[in-house]
Structures are given as C-alpha cells and as structure tokens.
C-alpha cells in the first residue's frame, strides 16, 4: 500500500465580505423613520419586521435607493437564493447608477449563486476609477474579486486584488468609523491570499499571511470568530515543508478552537503515521471515526480514517485488520482504498 494514498489537498475556505447596509440619508421624514427602523431591525436579525418597515419607506418614497438596497439585503439574509434581493439591488442601481454599495451587494448575490461572470461585472462596477476616490469598503470589493479570480485560476489577478484590499485596509481613514476595517484587513484578504500562495506552493508566503490572521485574533478577545482554519492551513504548509512537529502543533491549536475539527484530527494522525508513531496515529484516526462526517469532505473523512488505520495495521503486521479497514474505506467511496484492493486482487 502506498503512503501517499492518504495525502489530502488543503481545504480552502475563502471568505467573502459581507453585504453593506446603507445609513440613513436626507429624505422625507416619515420615510426616513421607517428606513431607520427597518435598518435597525435588519442589524438585529429581525427580518420580517425589517421587511415591513423598509417596504413602508419605499411606499412613502418610491425613489428611495437606500431602502431598496437594505430591503434587498434583508431578503438575502433570510434566503440567499431569494431573487427579490437581486431585484431590489437592481432597482437601487437604476435609481442611483453611482450606487457602489448596491453593485457590491448584487455581486455577492451572484457569487453565492455560482454566477461568477455577473458577480465579477458588478464587483468591478463597484470600484472607483481612481485610488483618490476609494473608500474603506472597497477593500471588501477587491477581496471578493480576488476570490472569483482565484476560482477561475487567474492567480495573478487574484493576488493583485488581494494586495489592493490589504492596501486599502491599512489606510488610516479620517472621520470614518467602520467596525470591521481591522477584520477586513486580517481575516479576509490576508487569509485568502494565504490560500492562493498555498495553491502555488509558496508555503513560506502562505505561512506569513496565515500568521497575520492568527496573531490578530489571538489579541482580540472582544471578537468571536472561528479562525481554526488558519491554524489548520498553516499546519498543511509546515507538513508540505516536511516540518512535521510544527504541523502537529498547528493541528492541535486548530483542535483547541474547534474540538470537532475532523480534518485536523485526521491530518494530525497522518503526520504521526509519517513519523512512525503508529499508536498516536491510531488514536487520531479513531477520533475521526467518533465524529460526524465533515460536510467539506469530498470522499469523507471517515473513509480516510479507515484507510489510515489500515496502513497502520499493515505496518504493524496485522494484515487481516489492515484488509478489513481498507475494505471499510472502499465501501465509503475512497478511490485510493478501492485501487489498493484491486492491486491485492480483493476487488
């Protein structure tokens, strides 16, 4: 059996920036009141109340672009596939062709639907013509474009977009208070650029970007966010650099944050296997089998854990146990396990 049959590619978890809510602007007082109430309901997650108030604002002022934008976002937050959010964003843009926020939100809608062509069109349209016109939220727009470019295999464009997002997020904006500027700076473009570098096998650069994310959150006790993937991905970088002890440390940190991180347990077990620490490997593989299958797994973490145990038993000379585990892995759809069985004449 081949050792490399266990090796997994990194699971990339890109981060798309959130859609934007417009603040109140000068309009008829009654419409403004309903708009403000609707926006507050939206922020509180009271979507039905938000829809009622924002619809009332639109009824009182049919050309209220900001209300259309926020109502579209409300539909989106209730159900990302609800086409009424798209229709409201389009109306906001029709009423105000310079409306960058609605263009970005529409880009997010199309991105979530897998329509990257339209998403890219509206993200691009949301960008200003010059750096002098940039605003803090343009960091989000560039980040979202970078995600699309990366998915399309346009790594140069993706890196350039992430670089622009990071550049904007570093600017000290005067008289602007945006709660998540630091969040944008550290957990979106840096993390996503780290994934891009990983795919390009630029492991040192990827480690540096993941480290920025990790260092930020370790110091921010007031921000609750699951950044276990940053540790996990940094561990994968160390693994590919054959720095196995560092990789184990990273997987353990990921597990501290997310005890049921099934692939972190698996990867830790695999590193122990590579180091010849078979008892430790079996413990981790067994832990994987005690957890529910991770939805991100293409073939299922359980199938890999069975295969891993099979390889351990084979190394230990327990061939019947080994064959039993490889068969279990194949039955769960693991192609590597099935190929192994074919090679052994067992399938």
Q: Does residue 102 belong to any structural domain of this protein?
A: no
Q: What is the pLDDT of residues 181-193, one digit of tens each?
A: 444 444 689 999 9
- Cα(6)–Cα(89) distance, integer angstroms: 46
Whether residue 175 has pLDDT greater than 50? no
Q: Does residue 333 belong to any structural domain of this protein?
A: yes
Q: What is the pLDDT of residues 271-328, one digit of tens each?
A: 999 999 999 999 999 999 998 876 556 568 999 999 999 999 999 999 999 999 999 9
Whether residue 93 has pLDDT greater than 80? yes
pLDDT band (50, 70, 90) for residue 27: very low
Q: Does residue 283 belong to any structural domain of this protein?
A: yes
Whether residue 173 has pLDDT greater than 80? no
Q: Are 111 and 81 in contact (CB under 8 A)?
A: no
Count of the separate structural domains present in the chain: 1
Q: Does residue 274 belong to any structural domain of this protein?
A: yes
| Residues 6 or more apart in contact with residue 321 via CB below 8 angstroms | 309, 310, 313
- Burial level of 239, CB count in 10 A (0-12/13-18/19+)? buried
| Domain containing residue 299 | 260-347
Residue 316, pLDDT score: 96
* Gyration radius of the chain's alpha carbons: 24
Average pLDDT over all residues of the chain: 87
DSSP state of 127: S
Among the residue ranges 16-25, 130-139, 218-227, 256-265, the one predicted with the least confidence is: 16-25
Integer distance in angstroms from the first to the last C-alpha of the chain?
Answer: 15
Residue 226, pLDDT score: 77
pTM of the model: 0.80
Residue 179, pLDDT score: 45
Whether residue 178 has pLDDT greater than 50? no
Q: Does residue 231 belong to any structural domain of this protein?
A: no
* Cα distances (Å, whole numbers) of residue 260 to 93, 265, 266, 286: 43, 8, 11, 13
Residue 293, pLDDT score: 75
Q: Does residue 115 belong to any structural domain of this protein?
A: no
Q: Does residue 114 belong to any structural domain of this protein?
A: no
Q: What is the pLDDT of residues 206-228, one digit of tens each?
A: 999 999 989 888 776 655 677 89
- Cα(69)–Cα(155) distance, integer angstroms: 32
Residue 298, pLDDT score: 56
Percentage of the chain exceeding pLDDT 90: 69
Residue 324, pLDDT score: 97
CATH code of 322's domain: 1.25.40.10
Residue 297, pLDDT score: 61
Whether residue 9 has pLDDT greater than 50? no
- Cα(46)–Cα(219) distance, integer angstroms: 31
Q: Does residue 320 belong to any structural domain of this protein?
A: yes
Q: What is the pLDDT of residues 318-339, one digit of tens each?
A: 999 999 999 999 999 999 999 9
Residue 139, pLDDT score: 87
Residue 136, pLDDT score: 82
Length of the chain in residues, anyone?
347
Q: What is the pLDDT of residues 232-245, one digit of tens each?
A: 999 999 999 999 99
pLDDT band (50, 70, 90) for residue 254: very high
Whether residue 174 has pLDDT greater than 70? no
Q: Are 146 and 154 in contact (CB under 8 A)?
A: no
């Amino acid at each position: 059996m081949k050792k490399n049959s266990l090796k997994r590619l990194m699971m990339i978890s890109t981060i798309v920036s959130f859609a934007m809510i417009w603040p109140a602007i000068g309009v008829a007082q009654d419409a403004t009141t309903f708009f403000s109430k609707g926006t507050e309901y939206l922020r509180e997650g009271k979507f039905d109340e938000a829809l009622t108030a924002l619809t009332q604002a639109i009824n009182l002022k049919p050309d209220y672009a900001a209300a259309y934008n926020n109502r579209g976002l409300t539909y989106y937050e209730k159900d990302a596939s609800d086409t009424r959010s798209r229709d409201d964003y389009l109306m906001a843009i029709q009423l105000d062709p310079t409306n960058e926020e609605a263009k970005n939100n529409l880009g997010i809608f199309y991105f979530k639907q897998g329509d990257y062509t339209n998403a890219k069109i509206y993200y691009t349209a949301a960008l200003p013509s010059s750096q002098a016109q940039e605003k803090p939220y343009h960091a989000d727009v560039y980040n979202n474009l970078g995600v699309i470019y990366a998915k399309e295999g346009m790594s140069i464009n993706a890196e350039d977009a992430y670089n622009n997002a990071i550049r904007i997020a570093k600017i000290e904006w005067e008289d602007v208070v945006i709660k998540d500027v630091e969040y944008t700076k550290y957990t979106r473009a840096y993390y996503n650029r780290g994934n891009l570098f990983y795919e390009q096998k630029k492991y040192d650069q990827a480690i540096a970007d993941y480290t920025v994310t990790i260092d930020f959150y370790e110091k921010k006790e007031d921000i609750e966010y699951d950044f276990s993937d940053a540790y996990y991905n940094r561990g994968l970088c160390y693994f590919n650099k054959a720095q196995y002890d560092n990789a184990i440390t990273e997987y353990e940190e990921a597990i501290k944050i997310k005890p049921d991180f099934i692939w972190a347990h698996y990867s830790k077990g695999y590193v122990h296997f590579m180091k010849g620490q078979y008892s430790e490997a079996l413990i981790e593989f067994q832990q994987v089998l005690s957890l529910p299958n991770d939805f991100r797994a293409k073939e299922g973490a359980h199938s890999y854990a069975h295969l891993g145990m099979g390889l351990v038993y084979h190394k230990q000379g327990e061939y019947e146990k080994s064959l039993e585990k490889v068969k279990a892995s194949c039955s769960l759809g693991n192609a590597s396990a099935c190929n192994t069985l074919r090679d052994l004449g067992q399938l």
